[in-house]
Structure 1
Amino acid sequence: MREVALRPVRPDEANALHQLIRDIEIADEQHWLTTLDEVRDYLRSPNNSPENNLRAVWLGDRLVGWGRVTHSPSGQKLERAKLLGGIHPDVRRRGLGTELLAWQVDRAGQRLDSTPHELEAIIIAERYEGQDDRGALFAAAGFEDARWFDELQRDLTALPAAIEPDGIAIAPWNDSHHESARQVYNVAFLDHWGTTPRSEEAWLHDVINEPGHRIDLSFLAFDGDEMVAYCLNGHYADDEAVTGRRDGWIESICTLPSHRRRGIASALVTRSLHSFAAAGFNSSMLGVDSASPTGAGEIYQRLGFRPLHRGIASIFTIRKGTSPVRMY
């Protein structure tokens, strides 16, 4: 057998890495496709340096796999690392995935070990229902299924009227409000499973400037001068090749706890649907935790969304922590 090597990815290997990821996604009948811009973004991440957190798997002189570890320090509630990656279908069942996952778990453990030890620390690996090989790989490494996430879809026909709840003004996203939106996120998602607060740097890189995110199709909600909710949206043109749709993605929507159950989220989603239709899209997608404490799934289904795919988040626990804050 040819020699197996795991090594960092060089910037000039972005195209080769992108082709590998595309081959894996097509073979696995993935519901979305990673773009070249996203791969280039992996190679310049300020929070997850590729030198330390991205590995290519080489079998002789052939690039056959890749793995990435991400972690945005929280300092409160929960510390989590997430894993991305895969092995080319032509060379599976040779132990390459096991070796790659072992490196990822070790690297994620190193990063989490540097965080406050009173906080719970976990590693998250995700898959879709039906990806049984990935599930078996994760289970063999000590991961346990912990949460299920639904991806919902709605055609952009017969849209409900766009209205504003009493006392709430909805406005297009403005660059001057990036920091206020980050603060809303950090408060609103404290009671959501697996989420952690984001620093200014992580927010700008991982959210605002994320390839595919469409600030021009996103919206903010205000109660007077206070921002109380937002809806950040996106579009990934490459996905049409596998879905046959032009999807507008509702990437992140959140409302401060003090303003929930006032119809703000529904208003933001409805406004977004109209913006997607005006942009020439014919469908909308969003993801939701099947056990969301806000009952978000029910809200979206009342707006005409229907379940299309289900994802599974598996976790590997690094430490339980002693903080009294629940992970949810």
Structure 2
Amino acid sequence: MTLRWSTLDTDAVPAWAELTNLLAKVDRTEEYYDAEDLAEELSEPGFDPELDSVAVWDGDTLVAYSQLRVSLALTYEGTARAMIGGGVHPDWRGQGIATRMFDEMEPRGRELATERHPGEPFELRASGGLEDDPARPLLSERGYEIVRYFTAMQRPLPGDPLPEVTDPRVGPVTPELAEPLRLAHNDAFASHWGSAPQEPEQWANGMEARSLRIATSRAAVADGEVLSYVITGQWVDRELYISIVGTRPSARGQGLARQVLTASLAAAAATGEYDLVELDVDSVSPTGAGRLYESVGFTPVRTTATFAKADGAS
């Protein structure tokens, strides 16, 4: 087998999208992306495709890829986080491609983490997908362990009637709220496992993404400060994704998260553009988010695992 090893670039985007969407179906992750969405990833703050990606070709067919993302800031636990993502086409599995990609990405992750966060603890992470995902044995062999489970939940639209939104502080997300939203997000997620504060450039990049659906995003605002918020996006036709739900610790216990979430769902239903809403929740969310989502009609549909290897130990 003669394979060509290179990196992801704009020319690779169509083949990258084709492979990504095949893997979403074969491995049942349902993580589908359009080529335009993946093209945006090439210019993410802190990501250098020439150094932080791998593309493996058999002729004109992209058979595997890998991406490395190292956090711009330390996690709230004080760790430099490196996330390795990617996959191998099912027809080319079992030939050592994934092993070689990890052999390239892990040292690069250590190098970049040391450069950005010298002297700080370092952790490699990777998704282990569903229980029967072929990546899991490889990750275990390389010293990774399951550190967290995340559950995808769905709700049909319009579905069961939604409770009324009664808090006058809840309203649409507008462009001028971008920075207040970032500040609220960093405050809200300071107690969440594995989270790192969002830098201004990083947050702005997300707020300008093609996938963002600001029309169905909602926030509770008082005196110019965002107290609670829901940010929505879309990657699949007629399916809305709840990207982030957060509430500042000082504003918890007031039912604000339920109010902004309900307002977002009502706005989505009113458009007539969506049949389904999906979100992912940490299985041990410190704020009990799973119960909140169940209370407005979400039900679990699949659970994936995140693997990690602390300190880059081999």
Q: TM-score, normalised by structure 1?
A: 0.88
**1:79–1:196: 8 Å Cα contact kept in structure 2?**
no
- Give secondary structure in 1 for the equivalent of 2:134: helix
Structure 1 regions of 5+ residues with no counterpart? 239-245, 321-328
Taking a change above 3 Å as real, the CA distance of residues 254 and 301 of structure 1, as seen in their structure-2 partners, is: same
The CA deviation at 1:129 is 2.1
| Cα distance in 1 for residues equivalent to 2:243 and 2:291 | 17
1:137 counterpart letter in structure 2: L
Taking a change above 3 Å as real, the CA distance of residues 155 and 25 of structure 1, as seen in their structure-2 partners, is: closer
Report the equivalent of 2:163: 161
Taking a change above 3 Å as real, the CA distance of residues 290 and 250 of structure 1, as seen in their structure-2 partners, is: same
Report the equivalent of 1:54: 53
Taking a change above 3 Å as real, the CA distance of residues 282 and 20 of structure 1, as seen in their structure-2 partners, is: closer
Taking a change above 3 Å as real, the CA distance of residues 61 and 173 of structure 1, as seen in their structure-2 partners, is: closer
Q: Superposed, which structure 2 residues align to 1:204-219 within 5 Å?
A: 204-205=204-205, 207-219=206-218
Report the equivalent of 2:114: 113
2:274 is the alignment partner of 1:272: no
- Give secondary structure in 2 for the equivalent of 1:287: strand
2:267 counterpart letter in structure 1: S
The CA deviation at 1:82 is 1.4
Deviations along 1:212-258, one digit per CA (max 9) or x if unpaired, are 220121111113432211110112234xxxxxxx3221110100000
1:294 counterpart letter in structure 2: T
2:308 is the alignment partner of 1:306: no
Taking a change above 3 Å as real, the CA distance of residues 225 and 44 of structure 1, as seen in their structure-2 partners, is: closer
- Give secondary structure in 2 for the equivalent of 1:183: helix
Larger deviation, residues 170-179 vs 101-110: 101-110
**2:125–2:306: 8 Å Cα contact kept in structure 1?**
yes
2:243 is the alignment partner of 1:251: yes
| Cα distance in 2 for residues equivalent to 1:130 and 1:198 | 31
Deviations along 1:186-229, one digit per CA (max 9) or x if unpaired, are 11101001110011111111x21233220121111113432211
| Cα distance in 2 for residues equivalent to 1:224 and 1:201 | 25
| Cα distance in 2 for residues equivalent to 1:140 and 1:20 | 25
Query: Aligned pairs, how many?
Result: 309
The CA deviation at 1:100 is 1.0
**1:42–1:50: 8 Å Cα contact kept in structure 2?**
no
Percent identity reads 28
2:81 is the alignment partner of 1:80: yes
**1:164–1:264: 8 Å Cα contact kept in structure 2?**
no
| Cα distance in 2 for residues equivalent to 1:118 and 1:16 | 39
The CA deviation at 1:319 is 6.2
